[in-house]
A = this chain, B = another copy of it.
Amino acid sequence: MREIEGGVAAPAGFWAAGAQAGLKAAGGYDVALLYSDCPAAGAAVYTRNAVRAHPLALTAAHLADGAARAVVVNSGNANACMGERGERDARAMAQAAARALELPETDVLAASTGVIGQPLPLERVCAGIAAAAAAIGTLRAGAGEAGLAARKAEAARTAALAIMTTDLAVKEQAWEMAGPAGPVRLGIMAKGSGMIHPNMGTMLGFITTDADLPPPLMQDMLRAAVDDSFNMATVDGDTSTNDMVIMLANGRSGVRPAAGAEDRFRRLLNAACVAMARAIARDGEGATKLLETRVRGAASRVDARRIARAVCGSSLVKTAMYGEDANWGRIIAAAGYAGADFNPDGFALSLNGLAVAAAGRGLPFAEAEAKARLSSAEIVIDISLADGEAEAVAWGCDLTPGYVDINAAYRS
């Protein structure tokens, strides 16, 4: 398994490009197209918010047959809470992409991210779609030419840029895994930042692979991977109306992964999703530190997950970590209100390897040593319980004045 260049366009047969359609006040890329040049299976996981943006319904309908060949995405406007106009606009986006890529409309999926409740500037979005499709067409026309891989990767990067809102870092990755039947590739891009909280979805994620995956197996693999990655990442406890993860598999490698839980492809998919979830938490709005909470010894997986997420989500823990203050009482308090069953007297805790509590009580530790450990850009909160064997890991970030500045000023 090795990391390669090319993001979502790294797997064979996939192409991606971004365009600048003028949808974001700050300018930059804001429309992305993702395309497979041969038939592909599709799967998706959606936000659990009761209010769902219009592109989600369209994507779910177009995935009913388990097949899709393209995804169109815009940032800068959520296309949510717009009634029938929103439905029409989501469909118009898909139609524009289908026309430009010469596909049936039902092979195109759609996603949007940005401000809720404002009409989509459809003309600009369609111009962006045409531009992105033209960029993909130019790349494809150059197939076989020297430097194509680098140009493809560059275009895929503009797609990864186009899905960003308040993100500071572009989030894309690609992997190649060798195997007896030949290599298989997986690419991923995501956007995160604010409104990130574990009720699935929690952000936008797009995964491509040239593995050959039957849709039900892919859906199962995707759900499991999302459950242990994006659903364990929290920035501010808010779950958006728009978030989803879409996966396309076009089978071009000829490699068909096995169905078992221990299959290497499944592990690759999980690792790729975890890498994105960590990147999203690290890039949380205003964040200066990545928090990783590991829970061990819980009575059940549900308990472990609840505790890990509650600790990563606690405003008091997040501010203490920003302040580099080993205020472990806030961590045990957050575990206590997580809705999990555990014995407080079996609670042990370390912060970046420094043991600060055991048997439910504080241990003596040097404040200077604690401060030094917490000055790191990554803080591992290690919680050990005495209730069983279950484990979970969650990711979050510190809560800083920057978070407030960003969200008090920006209508997103």
Binding site for B on A (CB under 8 A): 48-52, 78, 80-83, 115-118, 194-195, 197, 199, 236-241, 313-316, 319-320, 322-323, 325, 327-330, 332-338, 340-342, 344-345, 347, 357, 359-362, 399-401, 403-409, 411-412
Contact = CB atoms under 8 A, between A and B. Distances in A.
A400 B49 CA distance: 26
A118 B329 CA distance: 9
A50 B298 CA distance: 14
Contacts of A327: 115, 411-412
Nearest to A338: B50
Contacts of A199: 337
A409 B323 contact: yes
Given A117-B362, A330-B116, A49 B337 contact: yes
A237 B408 contact: no
A194 B327 CA distance: 14
Nearest to A50: B336
B325 A81 contact: no
A361 B323 contact: no
Contact of A332 (B116, B118, B315, B322): B116
A239 B51 CA distance: 27
Contact of A239 (B49, B78, B337): B337
13 contacts: A48-B337, A50-B340, A81-B332, A81-B357, A81-B360, A117-B361, A194-B316, A237-B313, A241-B329, A319-B403, A319-B406, A323-B407, A400-B404
Specify how many copies of this chain sit in the oligomer: 2
Contacts of A399: 404, 407
Contacts of A240: 333
Contacts of A118: 362
A13 to B, nearest CB: 36
Contact of A237 (B314, B335, B357, B411): B314
A242 to B, nearest CB: 9
Query: Ordered nearest first, which 9 A-B pairs have the shortest CB separation?
Result: A116-B329, A323-B408, A51-B336, A319-B407, A117-B362, A49-B336, A239-B337, A236-B315, A401-B401
Contacts of A197: 337
A116 B357 CA distance: 11
A231 to B, nearest CB: 13
Nearest to A239: B337
Contacts of A362: 81-82, 117-118
A361 B407 contact: no
Contact of A320 (B315, B319, B400, B407): B407
A377 to B, nearest CB: 16
Contact of A322 (B81, B194, B347, B408): B408
B50 A341 contact: yes
Contact of A238 (B117, B323, B337, B404): B337
A409 B319 CA distance: 8
A240 B329 CA distance: 10
Contacts of A335: 50-51
A282 to B, nearest CB: 18
Contacts of A116: 328-330, 332-333
B333 A49 contact: yes
A325 B411 CA distance: 7
Given A50-B340, A237-B314, A320-B407, 5 more contacts: A83-B360, A236-B315, A319-B408, A325-B408, A327-B412
B319 A78 contact: no
Most buried by B among A83, A333, A362, A407: A333
A183 to B, nearest CB: 41
